[in-house]
Amino acid sequence: MAKPDMVMYEEEYQALQAIISRLQVDSASKVVFLVDKNGQQIAASGDVRSIDATSLASLTAGNVAATDGLAKLIGEKEFSLLFHEGEKDNLHISIVGKRGILVVIFDQTSSLALVRLRVKRASRDLQEIFEKVEARAQASSTDTSNFESPFSEITDEDIDKLFGD
C-alpha cells in the first residue's frame, strides 16, 4: 500500500468525538460528521440516525476530491471550505489537516457566521490529534517491535467465512 494504514485507538477516538460533540452544541447545528478524505466516517455527533452517514461520508469525500481538482485547474492548492445552502438545511464542509473533512449540517437555528467561527476552533483541535495519529503511524511503520497486530494471524478460513463459505 502507498502509505501506512490509518489506525485509530480508543483514546484518540474519544478525543475526536469530544471535539465534534462540543462543536455540535456550540454551533447549534443538527449533526456534525468527521470524515476521512477517502470517504470513511470517523466520528459523528447529533441526530445521526436521520442521515445515511455512510453515503454522506463517501459523497462528501467525492465532492471534496472534485473541488480539489477544480482548485488545481485554476492554480490553487485547494479550496479549504465548501458551503451548500438548502431551503431548510445547510451543509458546511471544511478540510482538517491533510486527511480530515469536517461536515456540519445546520438550519435556521444557527448561522453561517457562528458555524464558521466554531469550526475554526474545532479544526485546530482536531488537527492536533490527526498530527499525533500521523506521527504514530510513521513511527510504527519504522519500528514495529512493540506492536503485535491482531491481524497477523488471519487465515484463509477467516476470509472464506466472510463470504459465507
Partner 1 sequence: MTFINYASREINCKIVYYGPGLCGKTTNIQWIHEQANPEKRGKLVSLATETDRTLFFDFLPLDMGTVKGFKVRFHLYTVPGQVFYDASRKLILRGCDGVIFVADSQRPRMEANIESIANLATNLKDNGFDIRTMPYVLQLNKRDMPTAAPVQEMEELLRFRNEPMIEAVASQGTGVIDTLKACARQILMELQRS
Which residues contribute to the site for partner 1 (CB under 8 A)?
Answer: 1-10, 12-14, 36-40, 42, 52, 54-55, 58-59, 62, 65-66, 68-69, 149-154, 156, 158-159, 161-163
Of 96, 28, 35, nearest to 62 by C-alpha is 35
**Smallest gap, in angstroms, from Cβ of residue 112 to partner 1?**
27
Measure the CA–CA gap between 157 and 42, rounded to whole angstroms. 29
**Smallest gap, in angstroms, from Cβ of residue 149 to partner 1?**
8
- Single-letter amino acid code for the residue at 88: K
**Smallest gap, in angstroms, from Cβ of residue 95 to partner 1?**
14
**Smallest gap, in angstroms, from Cβ of residue 113 to partner 1?**
31
Q: Is 81 helix (H, G, I), strand (E, B) or coil?
A: strand
Residue with cell 514495529: 144
Q: Is 146 helix (H, G, I), strand (E, B) or coil?
A: coil
CB nearer partner 1, residue 69 or residue 138: 69
CB nearer partner 1, residue 15 or residue 114: 15
**Whether the Cβ atoms of residue 91 and residue 83 lie closer than 8 Å to each other:** yes
CB nearer partner 1, residue 8 or residue 25: 8
CB nearer partner 1, residue 68 or residue 89: 68
Cα–Cα distances in angstroms (integers) from residue 11 to residues 14, 63, 142, in the given order: 5, 30, 22
